[in-house]
Structure 1
Amino acid sequence: MSPLRRVGGLFAAALAALTVAACGASSTDSSATSSAAPAAAPSSAAPAAATREVKDATGTLIKVPAEPKRVVTLTQEDLDAAIALGVTPVGITNGQGIDTPPAYLADKVQGIPVVGNLLQPVIDKVVEVQPDLILAGDMQDQQILDQLRKITPATVVTMAPTDDWKLSFMGIANTLNKLDVAKRVLADYDAEIAEAKGKVKPAEVSIVRWNPQGPSWMEKRQFASFVATDLGLTRPKAQDKDGTAHSMPLSLEALADIDGEWLFLSTLTADGEKALDDVKKTPAFKELKAVKDDHVVSVDGSVWSTRGAPLAAQIVLDDLVKALTG
């Protein structure tokens, strides 16, 4: 089992140990109280929960719980990061382009209430789960942010437009007061990369999302591109652009721009899937070098086309290694 995949298991074991310890402490405290003098009546004013001040992705200083107990995530990147850090949210949103939670995280979020779609929370549903911290991804709608901050002032924008996935992850970890865990997660990822480099030969990879309007290739600072670069892989000359987004959809006349030694293809919608199926029948697609060499790999767009987080990075890395060593 890889180090990164052990994170969830280690957290569960640690949580169980803490639970046992807490139960024991509770029992001891109870017997001690029964033999002592009667306790004074509790104060009517409950002590305020401890807070910390963090800087969010917009540079705003926000007070958050020192030990958040009820976390809501508004993007799958926030959700992925929280799970990797051993935090189970009390509310989540659906995945990118779908009306269900992200499929690759489905087994980890069973029973957690869905409070809306990606970056489109239903305010009443957020209220119902009573969050003490909201991870708001790259939310830019100030009206929604204002509504969320009426529920809890600890509503944190976790991603800036130009942040890479590791930087966003560390920001989320800081907000959750889990920096030590985050450092171990990234160290595990680095170890996975080092191990994979010993298996994978240098190769040129084209990373493409097929939209209903046509294919868009991924710029070099996009999430999956970063994983490929970490692995020592290169991009076709036409895709050698140091940006953080996808290109504009290409026409069939420009399909050469998506060619490479290997072509990793994804879609996000049923319309995109249909458009890809249709173009696969065309001479222009069949003439691509990757197609002729049988080096076309279908991958999950809901993972590859996201802003990225540790568990998604593991899947992208696995997909790359499996294709390039298979």
Structure 2
Amino acid sequence: MSPLRRVGGLFAAALAALTVAACGSSSTGSSTTSSAAPAAASSSAAPAAATREVKDATGTLIKVPAEPKRVVTLTQEDLDAALALGVAPVGITNGQGIDTPPAYLADKVQGIPVVGNLLQPVIDKVVEVQPDLILAGDMQDQQILDQLRKITPATVVTMAPTDDWKLSFMGIANTLNKLDAAKQVLADYDAKIAEAKGKVKPAEVSIVRWNPQGPSWMEKRQFASFVATDLGLTRPKAQDKDGTAHSMPLSLEALADIDGEWLFVSSLTADGEKALEDVKKTPAFKELKAVKNDHVVSVDGSVWSTRGAPLAAQIVLGDFVKALAG
């Protein structure tokens, strides 16, 4: 059985079990996966102040609004997921490795106040937007969490470091009380995957982020890699490792580890981009099979190198289809 099917099976089993456990809770359901799992809903509060409890990704029970109105997102993934679920935040952070909101979401976040950088909120700016719910991604800085919970106790660590993008998304959806909508979002994604499979040729794909220190390849359950697996694409032998992270930066002597029939490459910083441009001039890079066959595809690192969410998944899927369509 493939890694994807094993993950999918666990996801389905966990979701089914939690759905049974959550029967009788508020409107749109409150079941989810390992991230931000639900507990018993509150029934005593007045409708205008209705709350429910979720278990966040650290296992902590957090009381959150049943229908949050003023959501702040501290990561790109929280923002992407919220927008995919029809929730417009009142405060957001800049994207990964950049000093602006993610470019692929720019048209959807115009006019929304920026309250800091990724997982680095400016506390005064968060206070100004008066949130009733803060989606804190995989925040691990307890001091910042304590400060945020003074603004609103409804500050939720929505994802664990080992969660793949679908598990993270369902955790965020549960916190927002949008599980039914989330199931539809994933069903739509599955439909697009099925359609794309009829267009793309079978291929071996190397997925790489170029850093100033050298290239890192992505493990098989990292976001973009997961989309590749959904499409039925294979990975080079050197990259056939289960996990949600990436390799250490490789030296020029180890460039063979990034070779494949196709090479999808991105960077997150100007220094990484410069390092990539410099290495393109070297004999070692020119000897790569993908380079010789003109199968090198430059992609957006602020999308491909993240933990991922539904709107980003559509972009990665589109990039694969554009390159590999028969």
Shift of 1:2: 27
**Aligned residue in 1 for 2:153:** 153
Return closer, same or farther for 1:41/1:21 CA change in 2, 3 Å cut-off.
Answer: closer
- Which stretch of structure 1 is more off in the superposition, 208-217 or 24-33? 24-33
Shift of 1:297: 0.1
Return closer, same or farther for 1:9/1:114 CA change in 2, 3 Å cut-off.
Answer: farther
CA RMSD of aligned residues (A): 10.4
Shift of 1:190: 0.3
Shift of 1:281: 0.5
Map residues 1-326 of structure 1 onto 2, 5 A cutoff: 49-325=49-325
Return closer, same or farther for 1:71/1:210 CA change in 2, 3 Å cut-off.
Answer: same
What are the Cα deviations for residues 105-144 of structure 1, in whole angstroms up to 9, with x where unaligned? 0000000000000000000000000000000000000000
TM-score, normalised via structure 2 length: 0.86
What are the Cα deviations for residues 86-112 of structure 1, in whole angstroms up to 9, with x where unaligned? 000000000000000000000000000
Give SS of 2:255's match. Answer: helix
Return closer, same or farther for 1:53/1:281 CA change in 2, 3 Å cut-off.
Answer: same
Q: Which consecutive residues of structure 1, in runs of 5 or more, have no partner in the other structure?
A: none
2:138–2:157 CA contact under 8 A, matched in 1: yes
Higher CA-based Rg? 1
Distance (whole Å) between structure 1 residues aligned to residue 33 and residue 232 of structure 2: 62
Return closer, same or farther for 1:45/1:19 CA change in 2, 3 Å cut-off.
Answer: closer
Shift of 1:221: 1.1
2:18–2:32 CA contact under 8 A, matched in 1: no
TM-score, normalised via structure 1 length: 0.86
Distance (whole Å) between structure 2 residues aligned to residue 198 and residue 255 of structure 1: 32
Return closer, same or farther for 1:38/1:163 CA change in 2, 3 Å cut-off.
Answer: closer
Distance (whole Å) between structure 2 residues aligned to residue 274 and residue 75 of structure 1: 26
Shift of 1:55: 0.9
- Which stretch of structure 1 is more off in the superposition, 42-51 or 198-207? 42-51
Return closer, same or farther for 1:8/1:164 CA change in 2, 3 Å cut-off.
Answer: closer
Return closer, same or farther for 1:94/1:15 CA change in 2, 3 Å cut-off.
Answer: farther
2:135–2:157 CA contact under 8 A, matched in 1: yes
2:65–2:154 CA contact under 8 A, matched in 1: yes
1:4–1:188 CA contact under 8 A, matched in 2: no
Shift of 1:4: 21
Figure out how many residues of one structure are paired with residues of the other and give that number. Answer: 326
Following TM superposition, the consecutive aligned residue runs of length 4 or more in structure 1 with deviations greater than 4 angstroms are 1-48
- Which stretch of structure 1 is more off in the superposition, 12-21 or 45-54? 12-21
